[in-house]
């Protein structure tokens, strides 16, 4: 693995010295030890990066679709050659077990690129509307990207790749908790031949760099993934310059088990999905809705699955879960587990503290709560840890009501029986649930399908055609 330039920013095709002097520790969440330090940016660094992107925009926005497809093919080739480095970095800085990093965390950098390439090949940047109007999709301009730590390359790729496909230039601020994978990604883009100034990277925190990007008058669009609270602040900062803002925010996704589904399989699948990535996924199915007649049985199954869930070191291969990303996240999860206990929920499995055998690292116990009502904090707030709440419902109408009784609307999950009638019932329920993505019977959306949500889960869509469209202005030319 090459040594990353942690004391530099990537601006205008070069690794440049920051204008400030602040450095920040990067901590391995399994050991709580510092393994790197990265430079922290200032608004002046953002100004330099935006200026480079602005200067590069006129020429890059006029490149042809064929030229941009060639560039994406080059990025794919270089990314693949450094795949193992990417996977190892995500494991070290974020705590994802190496098997998860190999098959998912790093893999999405290829998957999303392939989805965008397929969409770009079919994308029509110009078409006629009626006898005389030419409708043109044009690159929106300089874009600012602020990305999270939980699926770091996933969110970087979902922004950078479609923006390149549309002909935009950009400035990226990755999470200060997981900056290493972004530095490697900058090296990949450089090696792939991305023209200077098209992609720029400035590390830093929200107040120092994120706010400067959000409010910058030369940034035409901000795309943010993270907490709803931060998304609101970014929207406020962007408002005076009337720039486009797209947001992919939090979730509290329901998982509805219909009364004729295979409960053994559905509960097991639901828990494993909720606990994947140590529960640090915005679309995790964290509220399991069970018909009253099957509620006690479902809790017994959930208890067995949770207690059998292994917690282990990220460096070890296997299907175990790893630590949370930081001390702050660990404390938040512990506080919400405590809130569930105090609110009267039944602790089916797990609870406070570290799992047995761990006295350091941000490891938590896989936790399940029963007897949860939808007005409890643990049913309404995004925990972002391996914590499942189980809620009973009376009939399909009640299940839909509970599923929609949340400020979020990112994803939803429905488990049906095997009959065509039950599947049709699940599809009807999917149409009634207010969420951007609904998954039936363990299915997942394809690379290139729209990712995003309703309500406080954000606005805009990422991936494929919809991601490219988000980075375009639309011009009507009447002839």
Q: What is the DSSP letter of 442?
A: T
User: What's the rounded Cα separation, in Å, for the pair 456 and 474?
Assistant: 26
Nearest alpha-carbon partner for 463 in 154, 168, 221, 51: 154
Q: What are phi and psi of 470, to 5 degrees?
A: -65, -25
Residue 472 and residue 166 in contact, taking contact as beta carbons nearer than 8 Å? yes
Tell me which of 93, 248, 382, 462 is the catalytic residue: 248
Q: Cα separation of 404 and 406, whole Å?
A: 6
Residue 279's H or E segment, with its range, is none
| Sign of torsion over alpha carbons 295, 299, 300, 301 | positive
DSSP string computed for 146-204? E--SSSHHHHHHHHHHHHHHHT-EEEEE--TTS-HHHHHHHHHHHHHTPPTTTEEE---
Residues contacting 139, CB < 8 A, separation 6+: 57, 60, 61, 166, 167, 168, 471, 472, 473
Asked whether 20 and 41 are in contact (CB, 8 A), the reply is yes
Does the annotation count 472 as an active-site position?
no
179 with 185: CB under 8 angstroms? no
Of the residues 143, 168, 274, 282, only one is catalytic, namely 282
Classify residue 379 by its DSSP letter: H
> What is the spatial distance between Cα 427 and Cα 152, in angstroms, rounded to a whole number?
32
Lookup result for tokens 């925009």: 57
Query: What percent of the chain is helix, strand and coil (3-state, nearest 5)?
Result: 45, 20, 35
Asked if 282 is an active-site residue, the reply is: yes
Joined together, the tokens standing for residue 276 give: 């994947």
Other C-beta atoms closer than 10 Å to the C-beta of 271 total: 27
Directed axis angle between helix 65-81 and helix 152-166, to 10°?
160
Q: Which residues are the active-site residues?
A: 248, 282
């Amino acid at each position: 693995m090459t040594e990353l330039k942690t004391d530099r920013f990537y601006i205008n095709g070069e690794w440049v010295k920051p204008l400030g002097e602040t450095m920040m520790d990067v901590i391995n969440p399994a050991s709580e030890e510092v393994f790197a330090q990265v430079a922290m940016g200032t608004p002046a660094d953002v100004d330099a990066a935006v200026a480079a992107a602005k200067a590069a925009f006129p020429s890059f926005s006029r490149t042809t679709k064929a030229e941009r497809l060639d560039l994406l093919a080059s990025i794919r080739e270089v990314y693949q050659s450094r795949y193992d480095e990417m996977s190892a970095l995500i494991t070290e800085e974020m705590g994802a077990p190496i098997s998860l990093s190999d098959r998912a965390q790093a893999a999405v950098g290829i998957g999303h690129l392939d989805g965008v390439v397929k969409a770009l090949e079919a994308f029509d940047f110009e078409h006629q509307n009626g006898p005389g109007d030419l409708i043109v999709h044009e690159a929106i301009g300089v874009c600012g990207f602020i990305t999270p730590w939980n699926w770091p390359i996933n969110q970087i790729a979902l922004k950078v790749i479609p923006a390149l496909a549309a002909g935009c230039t950009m400035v990226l601020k990755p999470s200060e908790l997981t900056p290493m994978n972004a530095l490697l990604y900058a090296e990949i883009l450089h090696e792939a031949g991305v023209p200077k100034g098209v992609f720029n990277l400035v590390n830093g925190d929200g107040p120092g760099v994120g706010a400067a990007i959000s409010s910058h008058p030369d940034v035409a669009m901000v795309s943010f993934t993270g907490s709803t609270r931060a998304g609101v602040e970014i929207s406020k900062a962007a408002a005076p310059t009337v720039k486009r803002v797209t947001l992919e925010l939090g979730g509290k996704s329901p998982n509805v088990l219909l009364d004729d589904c295979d409960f053994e399989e559905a509960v097991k699948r639901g828990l494993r999905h909720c606990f994947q990535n140590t529960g640090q996924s915005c679309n995790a199915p964290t509220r399991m809705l069970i018909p009253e007649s099957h509620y006690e049985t479902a809790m017994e199954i959930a208890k067995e699955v949770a207690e059998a869930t292994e917690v282990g070191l990220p460096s070890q291969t296997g299907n175990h879960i790893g630590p949370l990303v930081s001390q702050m996240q660990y404390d938040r999860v512990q506080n919400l587990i405590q809130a569930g206990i105090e609110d009267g929920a039944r602790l089916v499995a797990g609870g406070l503290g570290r799992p047995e055998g761990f006295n350091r690292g941000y490891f938590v116990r896989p936790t399940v709560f029963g007897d949860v009502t939808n007005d409890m904090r643990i049913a309404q707030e995004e925990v972002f840890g391996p914590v499942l709440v189980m809620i009973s419902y009376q009939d399909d109408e009640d299940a839909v009501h509970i599923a929609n009784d949340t400020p979020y609307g990112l994803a939803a999950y429905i488990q049906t029986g095997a009959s065509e009638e039950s599947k049709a019932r699940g599809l009807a329920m999917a149409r009634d649930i207010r969420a951007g993505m609904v998954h039936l019977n363990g299915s997942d959306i394809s690379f290139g399908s729209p990712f995003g949500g309703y309500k406080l889960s954000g606005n805009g869509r990422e991936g494929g055609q919809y991601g490219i469209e988000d980075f375009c202005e639309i011009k009507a030319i009447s002839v």
